[in-house]
Each structure stands twice: as C-alpha cells, then as structure tokens.
Structure 1
Amino acid sequence: MASLEDLEARVTALEEKVDQTRQDATAARVLAGAADRDVSEFKQTLNGHTKVLNAVRETQVEQDQEIKSLRADMNSGFTKVNIAIEQIAQLLHQALKKD
C-alpha cells in the first residue's frame, strides 16, 4: 500500500493538474468568445457584401434592358437612314439618266 507521503504527493500533483486544467478552460472560454465575436463580424460583413452584390445585379439587369431598348431604337434609326439613302441614291440615279 502507498505511504501517506506518496499519497500526499499524488494529491498535490492532482490538485496542480486540476488548477492548470481550470486555467486552460478559462483561457479556452476567452478564445471561444473572441472567435464567436469574430464570426459574427464576418457574418455581418458578408451580409453587407451580399446586399451590395444583389443591388449591383439589379442595376445591371435594368441597364441591360435599357441597352436592349436603345439598341432596338438605334437599329430602327439606321434602317430609316439606310432607306432614305437608298431613296436619295435612286433619285440621283434617275436625275443623272435624264441629263
């Protein structure tokens, strides 16, 4: 059987380990709290970025629709100009034939 001195040494060592474990647990809680705050801040930042990207996307969709409309107007205008140039060319051609 273990002697009383041996038992006291083992109890003292165990108490020191329990103390160290408590300190480690306290430090772990502090680190976990800081990590939790960091994650919350990152989530807020990510949510902000997501909102900005969604707003940019909406703007791009609107601009794409406007560009399509402007392109259609431009094509229509060029068609009218081409028709008018063709008519002018025909009139010039007829005028030159008469001379």
Structure 2
Amino acid sequence: MASDDLEPRVEALEEQVRDLTARVRATEHDAAAARVLAGGADRDVGEIRGELRDFRQATATSFNATRQDFVDLRDQLDRGFAEIRGKLDAAAAGQQQIVDLIYTVIDKPTS
C-alpha cells in the first residue's frame, strides 16, 4: 500500500463517517418524532373507543326506552279497545232489546 494513497482514503472514510453520523442523528430524530405521533395516535384511539362506548350505551338506553314506550302504548291500546268493545257490546244488547220490543209489538194481536 502506497502512503500517498492512504491520505485520500482516510479522508473518504472520515467523510463517510460524518455522513453516517448525520444520517443516524436524522434517523434518531425521525424515530423520536414517530414515537410522539404514535403516542398521540394511541391517545386518540383511546378517546374514540371511549366515545364509541358512550355512544353505544346511550343508543342502547334510548332503544330500551323506546321499546318500553311501545309496550306502554300497546297496553293502553289494549285497554282502550277492551273498553270500546264493552261499550259496543252494551249498545248491541240495547239495540237487541229494542228489536225484541218491536217484534213484541208487531206480533201482538190487536183487539
């Protein structure tokens, strides 16, 4: 190996070491930034999960309340229809009495 060839080679190696050092520092900086972003994303995901859980619970509560409202409405309708049915039956019985009285008058012999 010639001594005149050694100095440019050492300078080239030193230049490569400086470049690699700069690249390592940049990579470390990028990795730190990625960790910060990942931490923020992790917090965001946690918040979204909480919001979805709250939304799911509120939706289920709302559906249960709506279902109970329908049950109550059906019970009221059933009672109302039963009441109307009773009144219609009473009216039909009254009309039947009127019909029976009319037939009694029609069938009665005149004296």
Deviation at 1:97, TM superposition (A): 4.1
Amino acid at match of 2:49: V
1:9 maps to what in 2?
Answer: 19
The structural deviation recorded for 1:50 is: 1.5
Q: TM-score, normalised by structure 2?
A: 0.72
- Aligned pair count reads 99
Distance 2:35 2:103 in 1: 98
In the alignment, the residues of structure 2 paired with residue 29 and residue 95 of structure 1 have an alpha-carbon distance, to the nearest angstrom, of: 98
The residue aligned with 1:93 is 103
Structure 1 counterpart of 2:37: 27
Which letter does structure 1 place at the counterpart of 2:100?
Q
Give the 4+ runs in structure 1 shifted more than 3 A. Answer: 96-99
How much identity, in percent, do the aligned residues show?
A: 13
Shift of 1:13: 0.6
Q: How does 1:1-99 map to 2 (within 5 A)?
A: 3-98=13-108
**Which is greater in Rg?**
2
- Cα offsets for 1:30-87 (capped at 9, x unmatched): 1321232132123213212211221221122122122212212221221221121122
- Return 41-50 or 79-88, whichever deviates more: 41-50
Gaps of 5+ in 1: none
Gaps of 5+ in 2: 1-8
Q: Distance in 2 between matches of 1:85 and 1:14?
A: 103
